[in-house]
Structure 1
Amino acid sequence: MYLVIPGRHQLITQFQFEYLSSLIKNGLYHVKDVDGKELQINEPVEAIIFPVTSANHSNTRRNPLPFYLRAISIEAMAAELNVPVYIYGIDDVGSLSNFASYTLKRIKHESDGKFDCTAQNSLIICSTPVLKLYQSLGFNILPAELSDVTNWKYHSLMPWDIVEQIAASAKWDEDESIKAAMHHSSYNVWKKYGVGEKVKLLFTDHMIGSDGDLTETRDYNVYVRQMDDIAELKYHDTSSYVQPGRIGDIGCAVGSWMKLACKDERLRESDFYGIEVSRHLYQICQQRKENGEFQNPFLFFSQKNAVTGLVYEQGSMNTIHTSSLTHEIESYGSREDLLKFIKNRYEELAPGGVWINRDVVGPKNKGQEIYLWLNDGDGNNADPFMQFGDRNELSHFLQSLSTYARFLRFAKDFRKKEGYIVKFEEVTIENKLYIKTSLRNASEFLSRKDYTDNWESEMHETFCFWDFEEWKAQLSAINFTIHSSSHSFRNEWIVNNRWKGKAELYSMTENQLAQVDYPETTMILIGVK
């Protein structure tokens, strides 16, 4: 009889070890299942199988340990049992109603058919609601820590309970209650590889979700295409400022900028270090590297959060590049997070090193009162506040709206969760309708109005919180010297393809409207240490 223990297995508890030891030593005849039924199985335990779920996830709050560390811990514990133990990684495939069936099929596949686990030859050990998936397949369930399945009460700490205790403990490795609850195999792995400290950072990180992403509403297929499409433009804008040596790209997305940098003959002797916090994008970077898409082999990717601390050794980097990142820190984190990010980059640079930050920027005089004309004839003016459960349906609807109607939807959705209010009023001057608002609000709308594919995600992001002079002042306050080539500018392609004929900006001077230029969109800010 096989014992199958599905789970993420971030650590092994002392209870789990004693539970398995008892089943092996005393047999299965008088063992009761999760419903209290005595199984009366005469067969001995032939093998124990650990399907480790979310094996392709690591460095996230939900899955802090990579698969290999989880496997090391299980293998070390298994050496103390008297039956063979087998470990198989099961990739995360999202929420599947038939995940139990998928897991069993993966075990069969990974074991080359050695283990075809059925309700006749296997028992499932599970104490979470996942057990219901295996029950539906006819398996008997051994409850382990679970004392009452009707109310999900437990008589022993679950592994995740201990993970949370570690995250909350000042010195987890000296906490006797934690040490007693963990099996020493897991304790040794956690201590040796510094996992406890990593867990503390992950659990205190308020920007990143439990699965390692800034936002759950981004369509990554669209996002990846956009990153690749504009990579050459971004590299052209920044390449002349890159110093050879140790070159880092923080928020490297899918590695598009680094791919071009690796081709640059001037940088052929350099080492490249890509940092990406999003689990999904980090995995794409790793896959691209395996595919041989980067010419320089001295390229290393890491999944880290550059806000919570240094991602490079202090004083080690000649160039740090960031693109379209700093506004996301302000958007999904806080002003404190952004200031911490700036300071961290200064600390990581070697003397004379440069931080090249290419990002959106707010307009000069962003508090100025603006009269915004918006085209109401370039689409329909149906109820702009209609709700859709499907992202694609919402995108198609938004694309069908006129620029004016889309602004009304923007004003309702923009940073609503963050408590931001888009103040505006509609005024009619000489039979023409205008939106009276601040230049900042007008710029936020213009910069965002065409991002309908990822509308829900984009509505969390702010572009115009600092103008260029404010950005320079913040870097100077950290002791950066501002490179003379730093500048802000207006993307004329955006003006010609997205704004002209759609929107016009006016100011009121002596009771007369005077047209004003479209705002700046982009900055290249170079801080020198």
Structure 2
Amino acid sequence: MYLLIPGRHHLLTDFQFKYLNRLIKCKLEDEPDVYGTPLPTADITGIIFAVTSANHLGTKRNPVPFYLRAMIIQEFSHSLDVPAFVYGIDDAGMIPDFADYTLKTIRHSSEGIHQLTPDNTIVICSTGVKEMYLRHGFRVLPAEWDPVTAQFTQPMPWDVVKLVAQTEAWRKNKTILDLMHPACFKIWSLYQVGEKVQHILKDPIIGADGDLTATRDYQVYVKQMDDIAALKYRETAPYIQPGNIGDIGCAAGSWIKMACSDDRLHECDFYGIEVSRHLYDICLQRKHNGEFANPSVFFSQKNAVTSLVFEPGSMQTIHTSSLTHEIASYGSIDDLVAFIRNRYQELMPGGVWINRDVIGPENKAETILLWLNDTDGENDLPAPASTDTHELAQYLGKLSTRALFTRFAADFRHHEGFQLPHTWVEIAGTTYCQLSMQNACEFLFKKDYHDNWLSEMHEMFCFWSYSDWKAALEAAGLRLDNLSHTYRNEWIVKNRLEGKVQLLRLNENNTPEVIDFPVSHTLLLIRK
């Protein structure tokens, strides 16, 4: 008889070892299942650990990589009298029968050696997952769960993980030492797993599954990144200094891929840092596919806000693109300042940080008038009841520019508690929206992101001007190269702004006068 234990298995407890050891030694004799019915006596031939979310690591739900979880299980199992088998079960999202998926994965991974059925397997599970196995006819042992009192009699492994995350000196904490199995403690100590778990679980920016936002359509996002990769590289390539080159927020690795094909950089080492699990997985797949001309390409899933991601003083070049505004948007200005300080520490003297991003105008606090076209689309189109990304994009694409602004004013940073200040005024028979230049620019340069509207509504583009950036960098000990500059995307002006919107200010006669669209982007060459 096999014992099947499905779970994420980031940590194993002393209780789990004693429980398994008792089951093996006593051959299941009189062990009650989840219904309180004693099991018949049977020899245990092996224990099968199904490690779920095996393809996830570095996230709040799954901070420990699969290879370390497997090492913990093997170390843990050495003193048991039966062999232990470890099978990784990749995340499959929300599927109705994860138990069936797990069993099929084990059968496939074992090449048919372990075909688990209710006749040859007892499941050990104390969580709601047990219901899926019960529906398949398996007998289930409750472990930490007491079916009589409907309560846990022992701390769950994840409870101990959370305790470690909250305990600075976790190696000397008596409760942790009592609960964690010594074999698990050995691996956690040797590989500094506790410190990594503390870092990940305390991260204020990243969500449970390792993403900044849960509303981004990654298929659309990756295509957009690839489409503009050549433009980004042409703009930044002249300033790359050979040596150790890091790309923070590397997305799908497109910038690194182009840099690897640059003859000047063929002897360089490239380090891609990506916090999003989805994008990190794509980077690894591209590396496995052989898409990078340089073999010295290394990817890591890390958060560059809360810690250094490169060794201090080691980097000749750091590149970031369309990243710093996300740090301020999903975190805070303080997080962006921390990010800047971390880059100062990582650069070697004379190194350069190339930062390409959106930017706000110098007069962002000025109150201006915004004319919005109300004849280029629908004005009274009912909003879709669904929040499906594609349905919402189709709806937004049918709106007039004025109706689109009304939707923007309601959605922009709504979840962050922001209400966009604006009023409608009529001057000489024409209606204008009166608001700050900063908020007007947020609309101008964001209004056409229909495919990822819900995600973009979290993001601020115009919180800092060039002079704001200069002051923040100098406060961290960095300086702006004279080649740094701001610019306006003329394609956006010609194709998305002209005829749809106008910016105006009142002259001395209190008459609206059209003013130029301001800068929208910047290339900052930041030196240490």
Tell me which interval the TM-score lies in, with the shorter structure as reference length: over 0.9
CA distance in 2, matches of 1:33, 1:294: 53
CA distance in 2, matches of 1:357, 1:325: 8
The aligned amino acid for 2:260 is C
For the 8 Å contact 2:375–2:400, the answer to whether it is kept is yes
For the 8 Å contact 2:358–2:521, the answer to whether it is kept is yes
Q: How far is the alpha carbon of 1:389 from its aligned partner? A: 3.2
CA distance in 1, matches of 2:491, 2:256: 24
The aligned amino acid for 1:174 is K
Tell me the equivalent position of 1:423. Answer: 421
CA distance in 1, matches of 2:407, 2:159: 43
For the 8 Å contact 1:384–1:401, the answer to whether it is kept is no
1:243-282 alignment, distance < 5 Å? 243-282=241-280
Tell me the equivalent position of 1:295. Answer: 293
The Cα offsets for residues 171-212 of structure 1, whole Å up to 9 and x where unpaired, read as 001112101211111101100001111111111111001111
SS of equivalent residue, structure 1 residue 11: coil
CA distance in 1, matches of 2:325, 2:426: 34
CA distance in 1, matches of 2:386, 2:409: 18
Tell me the equivalent position of 1:103. Answer: 102
CA distance in 2, matches of 1:244, 1:253: 21
- The correspondence for 2:341, drawn from 330, 343, 358, is 343
Tell me the equivalent position of 1:32. Answer: 32
SS of equivalent residue, structure 2 residue 450: coil
Q: Which runs of 5+ in 2 are unaligned?
A: none
Q: How far is the alpha carbon of 1:262 from its aligned partner? A: 0.7
| Percent identical residues | 55
For the 8 Å contact 2:384–2:391, the answer to whether it is kept is no
Q: How far is the alpha carbon of 1:371 from its aligned partner? A: 1.1
Tell me the equivalent position of 1:197. Answer: 195
1:474-493 alignment, distance < 5 Å? 474-493=472-491
For the 8 Å contact 1:384–1:406, the answer to whether it is kept is no
CA distance in 2, matches of 1:108, 1:263: 42
Tell me the equivalent position of 1:131. Answer: 130
Tell me the equivalent position of 1:224. Answer: 222
For the 8 Å contact 2:36–2:147, the answer to whether it is kept is no
Q: How far is the alpha carbon of 1:522 from its aligned partner? A: 0.3
For the 8 Å contact 1:249–1:275, the answer to whether it is kept is yes
Tell me the equivalent position of 2:81. Answer: 82
Tell me the equivalent position of 2:470. Answer: 472
CA distance in 2, matches of 1:68, 1:194: 14
- The correspondence for 1:411, drawn from 409, 412, 421, is 409
Q: How far is the alpha carbon of 1:138 from its aligned partner? A: 1.4
For the 8 Å contact 2:10–2:64, the answer to whether it is kept is yes
SS of equivalent residue, structure 2 residue 37: coil
Tell me the equivalent position of 1:18. Answer: 18
Tell me the equivalent position of 2:65. Answer: 66
Is 1:233 the counterpart of 2:231 in the alignment? yes
For the 8 Å contact 1:60–1:202, the answer to whether it is kept is yes
CA distance in 1, matches of 2:396, 2:113: 53
CA distance in 2, matches of 1:228, 1:370: 36
CA RMSD of aligned residues (A): 1.1
Tell me the equivalent position of 1:46. Answer: 45
SS of equivalent residue, structure 2 residue 7: coil
The aligned amino acid for 1:423 is P
The aligned amino acid for 1:52 is V
Tell me the equivalent position of 1:115. Answer: 114
Q: How far is the alpha carbon of 1:386 from its aligned partner? A: 5.0
The Cα offsets for residues 239-277 of structure 1, whole Å up to 9 and x where unpaired, read as 111101111100000001111111111111111111101
Is 1:519 the counterpart of 2:518 in the alignment? yes
Q: How far is the alpha carbon of 1:115 from its aligned partner? A: 1.2
For the 8 Å contact 1:384–1:408, the answer to whether it is kept is no
CA distance in 2, matches of 1:244, 1:526: 15
Q: How far is the alpha carbon of 1:38 from its aligned partner? A: 1.5
SS of equivalent residue, structure 1 residue 453: helix
For the 8 Å contact 1:53–1:90, the answer to whether it is kept is yes
CA distance in 2, matches of 1:337, 1:479: 17
The Cα offsets for residues 318-360 of structure 1, whole Å up to 9 and x where unpaired, read as 0001000000000000111110000100110000001111000
Tell me the equivalent position of 2:302. Answer: 304
For the 8 Å contact 2:30–2:41, the answer to whether it is kept is no
For the 8 Å contact 2:52–2:88, the answer to whether it is kept is yes
Q: How far is the alpha carbon of 1:98 from its aligned partner? A: 0.6
SS of equivalent residue, structure 1 residue 454: helix
CA distance in 1, matches of 2:134, 2:500: 59
Tell me the equivalent position of 2:397. Answer: 399
Q: How far is the alpha carbon of 1:400 from its aligned partner? A: 1.2
SS of equivalent residue, structure 2 residue 364: coil
For the 8 Å contact 2:470–2:479, the answer to whether it is kept is no
Q: How far is the alpha carbon of 1:43 from its aligned partner? A: 2.4
CA distance in 1, matches of 2:102, 2:113: 15
CA distance in 1, matches of 2:518, 2:138: 64
Q: How far is the alpha carbon of 1:42 from its aligned partner? A: 3.0
CA distance in 1, matches of 2:426, 2:390: 35
Worse overlay, 338-347 or 375-384: 375-384
For the 8 Å contact 1:426–1:436, the answer to whether it is kept is yes
CA distance in 2, matches of 1:370, 1:483: 32
Tell me the equivalent position of 1:168. Answer: 166
Tell me the equivalent position of 2:93. Answer: 94
The Cα offsets for residues 150-191 of structure 1, whole Å up to 9 and x where unpaired, read as 74x111111000000000002001112101211111101100
For the 8 Å contact 2:506–2:512, the answer to whether it is kept is yes
Number of residue pairs matched by the alignment: 527
Worse overlay, 231-240 or 389-398: 389-398
For the 8 Å contact 1:482–1:525, the answer to whether it is kept is yes
CA distance in 2, matches of 1:435, 1:180: 65
For the 8 Å contact 1:387–1:394, the answer to whether it is kept is no
SS of equivalent residue, structure 1 residue 164: helix
SS of equivalent residue, structure 1 residue 356: strand
Q: How far is the alpha carbon of 1:149 from its aligned partner? A: 7.3
SS of equivalent residue, structure 1 residue 362: coil
Tell me the equivalent position of 2:9. Answer: 9
The aligned amino acid for 1:417 is H
Q: How far is the alpha carbon of 1:384 from its aligned partner? A: 6.2
For the 8 Å contact 1:380–1:401, the answer to whether it is kept is yes
